[in-house]
Structure 1
Amino acid sequence: MPELDFDPEYLRRLIVKMRVVTGGEATQMAETLEEAAGDVWHLNVNRKNGDPLNQELEEEIGALDLDHKLELVALMWLGRGDFGADEWDEALALADERRGAPTAQYLLAHPQVADEIASGLDALGFSHIMEDGEY
C-alpha cells in the first residue's frame, strides 16, 4: 500500500470542501464530519467560478506543495478508473509529466472530483479516512 504525504484529517476536510464547491452531497456527511468541516456542509449548493468558496478552494489547492498536488490528481485518476491501485507510481509520474494548467482549476473542472478522490483512497485501502481521518 502506498504512503500518502497528506495529513489524513486535512485530506478529509479538503474532500468535503470539494463536494460543496462542485455541488456534491456534503449534507449526507454532516454528522460524521462536523468537526472536520465546520459549517461548510450547510453551503451545499452548486458553485460557479467567481464564488468566494470556489476561489478559496482554488487558492488552498494552489498553495499546496507539488507532491500534494500530484497526489490529488493521481487519486482522482485512480478513483475514476484510469489507473489501478498497483499503478499508483505510474499515475503520480503521469500527473507530474502533465502538469501545466493550475491544479485546482483542473481538479475542480471535474464535477465528481471529490467522489473520485474518495474512490481513489478506497482503491488504495484508505476508505476509512472519510470516517476517522486517519490512515
Structure 2
Amino acid sequence: MIDVLEDRADDPVQEEIRSAIWALSVDEQIDLATLVWLGRCDSIASDWRDIREAVADTHNDRTAAYLLGTPLLGDDL
C-alpha cells in the first residue's frame, strides 16, 4: 500500500485528473482554478468575480499541471 503514496510519472490517478481537466472547456477550467484560489485565501464568495478575472488573465494551456502542482489542492477545493 505504500506505493500509493509515492509520486511517479505514470501515476494513473494523475493521468485521470489531467484527462478530466483537459476535457473541460476554458471557462470551466477558469472556474475550477478560481475555486482553488478562493479556497486558499481569505476570500469570500462575493469576491468570485474579481478572483475569476485574475485567473482568466493568467490562464494558459497548463491548467492541469498548475492544479496538480498546487499543494493541498484537495483542501483548497
TM value normalised by structure 1:
0.49
After TM superposition, the structure 1 = structure 2 runs for residues 41-80 of structure 1, keeping only pairs within 5 Å, are 45-80=5-40
Structure 1 residue 83 corresponds to structure 2 residue 43: yes
Deviates more, 1:87-96 or 1:46-55: 46-55
Match of 2:52 among 92, 110, 122: 92
Are 2:74 and 1:114 equivalent residues in the alignment?
A: yes
1:48–1:54 contact (8 Å) kept in structure 2: no
Residues 44 and 71 from structure 1, CA distance in 2 versus in 1: closer, same or farther, beyond 3 angstroms?
Answer: farther
Segments of 5+ residues of structure 1 without an aligned counterpart are: 1-42, 118-135
Provide Cα deviations, 1:81-125, integer angstroms capped at 9, x if missing partner: 1633221011111111101241111001012111101xxxxxxxx
Aligned length: 75
Aligned match of 1:105 in 65, 70, 75? 65
Taking a change above 3 Å as real, the CA distance of residues 113 and 59 of structure 1, as seen in their structure-2 partners, is same
TM-score by length of 2: 0.80
Higher relative contact order (CA 8 A, sep 6+): 2
- In structure 2, list runs of 5 or more residues that go unmatched: none
